[in-house]
Structures are given as structure tokens and as C-alpha cells.
Structure 1
Amino acid sequence: MLQGKDIIVFANEWGRHPSSCQHLMTQLLEANRILWVNTIGMRRPKLSLYDIKRAAGKILSWVKPKTANPVEIPKHLNVISPLMIPYNDIAPIRRINRQNVISAVHAASRELGFRDPILVTAVPLVADYVGDLGESLCVYYCMDDYAEWPGAAKEMLQELELDLVRKADVVVAVSDRLVEMKKPLNPATHLLTHGVDVEHFASAQQVTGADVRINYPSPVLGYYGLIDERTDQAMLVDVLAAKPDWTMVFIGNARVSLESLERFPNFHHIGPVPYDELPFYAAGFDVAIIPYILNELSMSINPLKLKEYLATGVPVVSTPLPEAVRLSDWIHVADSAESFISSVEAALHEPRDTESLMRFLQSEAWSAKAETLSQIISSALPDSSGRK
């Protein structure tokens, strides 16, 4: 594991529902110092309740950072939120953002006494800052095909990511598809699939009685996470109509209208819940589902919830995302409403080899992933003579 290093990380806000980048960096905090730079999103903001709330949170983080981020900050971690204006695809705004970010990072680095920091970024916009932050190494941690995100400034993100992949000393990608896309541009591209907090999610297996937060008629098909354009609502409508005795529960922020689903009495939408409480909700699932549409974005994603679901001990049914197919020894894969229904029925009645599954998940823990990342970074760091 890396030790005694100074690390600058660009990612989504620390303290929100933790991303894979946050999970990995948490593992490195014990022996390293980290400056975490909260960044703006990569979608163009809309006049939606979701985006208005997110914008308000961003503004508060600039004006009153301690109020905006009330979560406890671990030892060896420092968090900053440089002033960044959305619409980075407008050239003058992009220049202002660049100046603000570089100045804020330099000021924080000086205050902390950082020396030759390692730069780790989970967002393509950092392409504008590479080489100007005093870093000894740049690592691009690629979690998605960002240009394919709904509402993304596609051309700008394609330009930024291409630039970042070429500038980075190391690229680490979370799926085979992403590795295939990045490796021709940067041979130092490595696969590092998502890990899982096994103990946290396995605690769902011990939750009983009144501690279970979902109380709907069984069988309950459960989903948690962002609900957006990736969700195959047409397929879910067919499932709800065909199985009125099944209950479908979605937990999380909805970025799209759920009107087509909410007209069914057996569909229920719960707002976002804290990460720490997810096992209490998952304990009420009979089957956990990932009903994503297959498109350019979903073909490259590796949903964090795949292994989290598995750790709860609940059977899982997913549409055939490549990363779900990779785990088909443990996950049912279905490509239509009919096969989805059949897979749920099979999952409800099949015996579960929980012991083998938990052994597999222990090998996929975040500590193991952080060790692999440390090895990748260490092998790329300059030696005392300045050579890589």
C-alpha cells in the first residue's frame, strides 16, 4: 500500500453517497495525506428541482464550506471547493474556472506543505490543470464514458478526456470496455473493477423485524441509486403490468419523470437515503434489480451496486450489462420483460451458495482494490533519479 505520499484528488463532493474514488482514497488515508478537490458536475444544469438543489449546495460550499459539508472529515484529509461556474463549454468561463482551481489548489498545497503530490482525477475537466499543480504523477481514474452521459456537453467532454488520457502517466478504468477505449491512446491503461464494503452490506443479512425499513407485500423487487435516462422504464411497465402481485421499490433521486411507473399501485418511489442506512432498506428486498437500457453509456459502466447487492445476500437480476455478465455466476441476466420475469421467479426459488459468494466478495473488498491501485501507482512513480 502507498505510504507517506501527498495526493491531490479531483472528484465529486466528499461526503455525498460515496463514489468508488472515495472508497479507494479512504483506504489510503491511514498512511497518506489527501487534498480532496470538490468539482462541479459534467452535465449542463437544467431548471429542475434536482439541479436547483445541487446548485444551491454548491453555492453554500463556496460561501460556508463547513455548513455545506457537515460530515466528519477523517484524519489526513483536507477538502476544498474552489469556485467553479457551470457551462465549462463556454471559453471565458472555462478560463475563469481554470484560474480559480489552480490558485485554490496551490494555496491549499502550500498550507499543507505538500511535496511532489500525486494527482488522481476522476473527472475529465482536470485535463485543463495537468502540469500546473506541481504533481509528480497524473492518474486518470476513469469510471464512465462521460461524453455519453445524458445532458453532457458531449464535444467538450470528448475533447477534455482525449487530452487527459494522453497527458496522464497512468489510466485506471473500471470496465473492460473502458480499457479497450483508452488503451490505444495510452498504453499505461489498467483494469481495476469496483470493490465493495463487504461488512457494511452484509449487515443486511442480520437486519430483522422493525429494523427493516421497507414494509411492502412480498415479493419486493428493490433498486437503489440514481434514477435517470438509463432506467428501462418501458420494460419495467411490462413487468409491473404482468405481475400486479409483485412490489417494485425504487430508492434514490429521480432525474426523470416516473409517471409511467407511478400509475401502478405496486410501484413505490422512496427518496435518497444515507449510505449508512442502505442495508436496513436492502434487508426488505426479495430480489435486487438493475434494469438499465443497453446503450453506449451502459455498455461501459460498472455499477457500484452490483457487488453491494451481492453482499446483502439478496439475489440479483440485471439487464445484460457487460459487467453484470462478468458476474453471471452470481447474477441473473435478462434482456426482455419476459426473461426478466422468468429470472426473478428463478431467483426467488433458487438455493444460494452464500459461503462461496462471500469468499469471492472478500477478494473484491476495497482494501484489495486499493492495494492494486497502490502497486500501479508505485510502478509509475519517478525514482530518485527522476526516471519512471
Structure 2
Amino acid sequence: MSAPLVVFGEDWGAHPSSTQHLVSRLAADRSVLWVNSIGLRRPRLDARDLARLLAKARAIAGRAPSRPASMPEPEGPRPARILSPLAIPWPGSRLAEAVNRRLIGRQVRRVMAEMGMERPILWASLPSAVSVVGALGERAVVYYCGDDFGALTGVDHAPVLELEARLAACADLIVAASAPLAERFAGRNVLLLPHGVDYDLFATPCARPADLPEGPVAGFYGSVSDWLDIGMLVRAARALPDWRFVFIGPVQTDVSPLAGLPNVRFLGPRPHTALPGYVQHWDVALIPFRDTPQIRACNPLKLREYLASGTPVAATRFPALTPYEGLIHAIDPGGDLTPAIRGAAQDRDGIARKAAVAAEGWDARAARLSAALDAL
């Protein structure tokens, strides 16, 4: 069996992240201990953070899962063990980091001993994991960089970037999900590993969901956050009153100008396995991003999932879109989305869209990554 992994990531099952897609496949022939998130910002005394702290406390006590009830386990093998550690979420505090090194290190080593795990590879998808580097008897350190933490919403940027710089300096391998992220670590041992796709899940025909409205549908799934161009969407929805604009996912920004329109529907989160049924029955799938540093560095999973479904796509341009731009009705950020939606609705070449990502499955991505891990 290949070297075991101790993975510091987000809460297992909270959302279908690239780390979880990869690790669920690596777990087929490696012993994996998954350590749930130890936080990238100081908690605030608001309702959302208090609810999250309560959920964390229940997970630590072993009385409840840390993922939302609407989210199922990710597909594929799960880690052998999942640990919700007791930790201090206070990036930038050297005192908190010193305490976490002892506190988290002791908890992780105890579970490692129970699993019979020795000399693992320490995998960090969050810079806050730098606090335990060297405390686990690890044989190597891998930093999986899937986001621009200097621009990511909900992060204490300055202290987290300092943690990231320290983590990158001691990493034996940096895995970057996009070219802009890889460029930040020039001169180091970097593996550019774009996101994959669960091709069979999204390409296999599914029944139309009962709650999907009739008529032409332009749809989006994912976090409805401040990286979406709400003004652009409002203008498109007003210009296309016969269309239905459908959004699936948690709403994390002000959507009142959009929600007030009669042809707009917010359906809330859906399990990842249910998403193909929606996107396959939309007339056009949307990626209406603003132009931000975070978006310029991102490599959204939905891009390849949309293509695997065969559904036409209308999107704003960003670097990760470039290899597929010939298959997508793309406009510059801030432009008029209406003509792109109309053009995409006439595009029937679903076979070409599917073929473009048929060889980009998560299994292939994980195999390439596994070879890089074995070479450490």
C-alpha cells in the first residue's frame, strides 16, 4: 500500500471540493486520516458563526456530523478516519498557533496510533495546517493550493497569506489547481493539476427534477456569493422575461434586486448527485462571474461538469475558461449576458462539449497525483 495521508482540509462532506474528490480516490489504496477545518479567520459574534461553532462543538463531541444535513457523503471511498479537532481558530496569533501545534498534534497522533499509521504524508489544503508541520513524524509535506487565499471571501487575508508563505517554504510538493496559482510558487516543486470531473455522473441522462420550472431555463449552481455579477443577471432576466433564471446553492450575498424579479427562482442547496438532473434539463448553464483576483485564479468544478452534461454554456471570460472558449458563448466581464444566452440556446453541439472533458475525470487526475506522492 502507498504512503498514508493525514489531510487537513475543510469539513468532510460540507461541499464537493476538489480535495475531497481527489482524496476519496486516493483512499482506495492509502490509509487516510482526514482532519476537519481549523479555520481561516477569527470567529465573529454573529448568528452564522455561532451556529457554526455549535455544529463544530457537536462534531468534536461525536454527536453530529459537521456537514450540512442536505449534503451526502462524497462519492467513492471515504477516509479511514475523520477527526474534528479541538483548536483555536485565530490566524495571525502566534500564541494560538503554538497552542494548536500541541493541541492538534496530540489529537492527531492519538488517532494515528489507533490506526497504526506511521510516517504519513502531511497534506494541507488550508494554510492554517502549517502549525502542525513537523509535529506528526511526517515523511513529506504537500500543500494543495486550490484557491487564492489573498482574495477569497470569508478569510483573514493578511495573516493567512503569511501562513501560506511559511507552508509553501517547507512543502516538498505544491499542487496548484490553476496556472495563476502555480505561477505564484515559481522555482519550487510545483505540480499543475487542473480540476477533474465526475464524467459518468454528469454525462449519464437523468430525469427532469419536479421543482424545475417549465419554459426556457438559464441555470446556475454553486455558492451564490459576491463573485457573481448580480447586476448583469438582473439585466439579463429583465431582457428575457419568457426565460426562467434558476439558482441552486446557498445564498451568501445580497440578491434582493434579483430575487424580486418574477422569472427568477432560488431553489436552495441540492446534493451533488442531484445536480446532473438540473443542468441536463436547463437550456443554458451560466457562469456569470465578476472580474476579481479570486476569479482570475480559480478553476471552478462546475465548468467541466456543465460541459460533461452537454448543456450549452454562457459565461464571462476568466483564465480557466480559455481552453474551452470555442465551446462556450463567452463575453467579457461586465458585458451583456443576454446575447450569450440567446446564442447558447441555439447551440446543439452537446457531443463536442462532452468530448472535450471525457478524458479529464477525477480518476485520471488522482492517478497523476498519486504518482507524484509516491515520488516524494
TM-score (norm 1): 0.89
Offset at 1:199? 0.9
In 2, are the aligned partners of 1:24 and 1:366 still within 8 Å (CA)? yes
Structure 1 segment 295-314 matched on structure 2, within 5 A: 295-314=292-311
In 1, are the aligned partners of 2:289 and 2:333 still within 8 Å (CA)? no
Secondary structure at 1:148 match in 2: coil
Aligned counterpart, 2:255: 258
Offset at 1:232? 0.9
Gaps of 5+ in 1: 382-388
- 1:155-204 superposed Cα distances (whole Å, 9 cap, x missing partner): 101100111111100001011100111224x2x0121000000111123x
Secondary structure at 1:297 match in 2: helix
Offset at 1:9? 0.6
**Distance change >3 Å, CA 222–CA 40, structure 1 → 2:** farther
In 2, are the aligned partners of 1:35 and 1:78 still within 8 Å (CA)? yes
**Distance change >3 Å, CA 230–CA 12, structure 1 → 2:** same
Q: Distance in 2 between matches of 1:256 and 1:149?
A: 14
Q: Is 1:240–2:229 an aligned residue pair? A: no
Structure 2 counterpart of 1:78, one-letter code: R
Offset at 1:316? 1.2
Structure 2 counterpart of 1:286, one-letter code: D
Structure 1 segment 324-339 matched on structure 2, within 5 A: 324-335=321-332, 339=336
Identity %: 35
Secondary structure at 1:298 match in 2: helix
In 2, are the aligned partners of 1:37 and 1:81 still within 8 Å (CA)? yes
Aligned counterpart, 1:274: 271
Q: Distance in 2 between matches of 1:347 and 1:240?
A: 15
- 1:13-41 superposed Cα distances (whole Å, 9 cap, x missing partner): 11222211111111111211100000134
Offset at 1:215? 2.9
Aligned counterpart, 1:386: none
Aligned counterpart, 1:25: 23
Structure 1 segment 1-388 matched on structure 2, within 5 A: 3-46=1-44, 49-65=47-63, 67-68=65-66, 74=77, 77-184=80-187, 186=188, 188-203=189-204, 206-208=205-207, 211-335=208-332, 339-354=336-351, 356-379=352-375, 381=376
Structure 2 counterpart of 1:165, one-letter code: A
**Distance change >3 Å, CA 52–CA 292, structure 1 → 2:** farther
Q: Distance in 2 between matches of 1:159 and 1:341?
A: 42
**Distance change >3 Å, CA 214–CA 202, structure 1 → 2:** farther
**Distance change >3 Å, CA 337–CA 346, structure 1 → 2:** farther
Q: Distance in 1 between matches of 2:361 and 2:53?
A: 34
Q: Distance in 2 between matches of 1:88 and 1:78?
A: 26
Structure 2 counterpart of 1:278, one-letter code: L
Offset at 1:357? 3.4
In 2, are the aligned partners of 1:44 and 1:151 still within 8 Å (CA)? no
**Distance change >3 Å, CA 268–CA 199, structure 1 → 2:** same
Which moved further from structure 2: 52-61 or 305-314? 52-61
Offset at 1:75? 6.2
Secondary structure at 1:98 match in 2: helix
Structure 2 counterpart of 1:277, one-letter code: A
Secondary structure at 1:14 match in 2: coil
In 1, are the aligned partners of 2:55 and 2:64 still within 8 Å (CA)? no
Offset at 1:325? 1.9
Secondary structure at 2:52 match in 1: helix
Aligned counterpart, 1:385: none
Q: Distance in 2 between matches of 1:251 and 1:51?
A: 23
Q: Distance in 1 between matches of 2:220 and 2:350?
A: 22
In 2, are the aligned partners of 1:9 and 1:120 still within 8 Å (CA)? yes
In 1, are the aligned partners of 2:291 and 2:333 still within 8 Å (CA)? no
Equivalences, count: 371
Offset at 1:103? 1.1
Offset at 1:227? 1.3
In 1, are the aligned partners of 2:285 and 2:311 still within 8 Å (CA)? yes
Q: Distance in 2 between matches of 1:51 and 1:229?
A: 19
- 1:283-336 superposed Cα distances (whole Å, 9 cap, x missing partner): 331111111111111110111111111111111122111101222132221125
- 1:98-118 superposed Cα distances (whole Å, 9 cap, x missing partner): 322111111111111112211
Offset at 1:217? 3.8
